[in-house]
Structure 1
Amino acid sequence: MPQPNDRNCANEGIGGNHYGPVMAYLSQVSDSSTADGSSGWFKIFQDGWKKNPSGYNGDDDYWGVKDLNLCCGKINVKIPSNIPSGDYLLRAEVIALHSAAGSGGAQPYVTCFQLTVTGGSGSVPATVNFPGAYSASDPGILVNIHAPMTNYVVPGPAVFSGGTTKEPGSSCAGCESTCKASVKRSVQW
């Protein structure tokens, strides 16, 4: 695993064969600097699983985490333009499935960012709550990726209509391989 502030592409963003999906959610809040994440969330991005025709088991297949590693530990997540302006929390999440063959074995890695969106329009879609959006017995949480796989269901709700579903195994979409990591508080369309 890389160390803090290590953005060297030679090092994996999520190492140790911690394969699984990469997801991002938004939560509209009144003030992102004081929000606690208890309000509802809607999914705006996912990069899940795709069968590798030359692979034997789920370890050999295409995963969001493999894409994250190939893209220097960075994934471009487009903020949908069809959401209202205002403050939001962004929940970035990886679920490592290397130990998920037994109940309680999946390992979520979550971080949050504070955003202010300007120039948006539309309405906030239906939301889910954390904890509660996933169950330990969900097929995307309780899964043996070390066996041959024919299907995988990314946990949680479907991606919001203005969001993005990245095809696992596809190339980096933007500056992931060359840009420097940074956090911006304001998002403009």
Structure 2
Amino acid sequence: MGKVGSEDQESSCARHPPYVQPSINPVTDIASNDLRCNVGGATGVAGLCEVPVADATTADGSSELFKIVESGYLTTAAGSTWGTEVLNENYERFEVMIPPGLVAGDNLLRAEDIALHAASQPGGAQLYVTCYQIRVSGGGGVAPAGVRFPGAYNESDPGIQVEVWGGGFSEDTIPGPAVVSV
């Protein structure tokens, strides 16, 4: 995430917390407004990406969001792995194809990585959230209904509270709405 064409725009597109403090990242409170774009993520970045990203500084993450891609527990003929392992193998990069039918204009793209190693107890899921300011051009006119953060997840949702240790785990239920078809 954060690459525009061949240029890495991570620092100019992503809304990062204004300071780093271990207690603010990850977000573990499912009811917190920080679940939208992380702590300090309601404020747009000062510099924006040149080509596909434009001024979306008034977006604070409180509007409805819909899911365009997800990657959870992956099972193939070669074995099983987590989407986060694939992310790590790709040096923390995850390519996302913006659906061609998506409504054109300035948009907020919310990326989320959920660590489940401590998720057997309420409040154990660790959500790493970053929002990107993007401009969709030449798109269609589709803006699907979505969900709001906080409110999209409950503490007891499968995929938020889940036991992944002990050998009994076989499939992942990814929290939130289904991926939209645009």
TM-score by length of 1: 0.63
1:44 matches 2:78 = no
CA deviations 1:89-144 (Å, max 9, x no partner) are 01010000000011110000000111111100031111100001111100111101
Q: CA deviation at 1:50?
A: 2.5
Q: Which one of 136, 153, 157 corresponds to residue 138 of structure 1? A: 157
Structure 1 match to 2:132: 113
CA separation of 1:52 and 1:78: change in aligned 2, threshold 3 A:
closer
1:88 matches 2:107 = yes
Q: Which one of 96, 121, 140 corresponds to residue 102 of structure 1? A: 121
Aligned-residue RMSD, C-alpha: 2.3
CA deviations 1:14-69 (Å, max 9, x no partner) are xxxxxxxxxxxxxxxxx6122111110000111111247887xxxxx411100001
Q: CA deviation at 1:160?
A: 1.0
Whichever structure has more strand as a proportion of its residues is 1
Contact 2:74 2:83 in 1 (8 A): no
Alpha-carbon separation, structure 1, partners of 2:127 and 2:111: 10
Alpha-carbon separation, structure 2, partners of 1:92 and 1:157: 14
Structure 2's unaligned 5+ residue stretches are 1-9, 12-54
Matched positions, count: 130
Structure 2 match to 1:125: 144
1:159 matches 2:179 = yes
Q: CA deviation at 1:150?
A: 2.4
Structure 1's unaligned 5+ residue stretches are 6-30, 56-60, 163-189
Alpha-carbon separation, structure 2, partners of 1:33 and 1:139: 33
Contact 2:120 2:162 in 1 (8 A): yes
CA separation of 1:149 and 1:84: change in aligned 2, threshold 3 A:
same
Give the 3-state SS of the residue equivalent to 1:68 in structure 2: helix
Whichever structure has more helix as a proportion of its residues is 2
TM-score by length of 2: 0.66
Q: CA deviation at 1:151?
A: 2.3
Following superposition, which runs of at least 4 residues in structure 1 exceed 3 angstroms of deviation?
51-55
Contact 1:51 1:150 in 2 (8 A): no
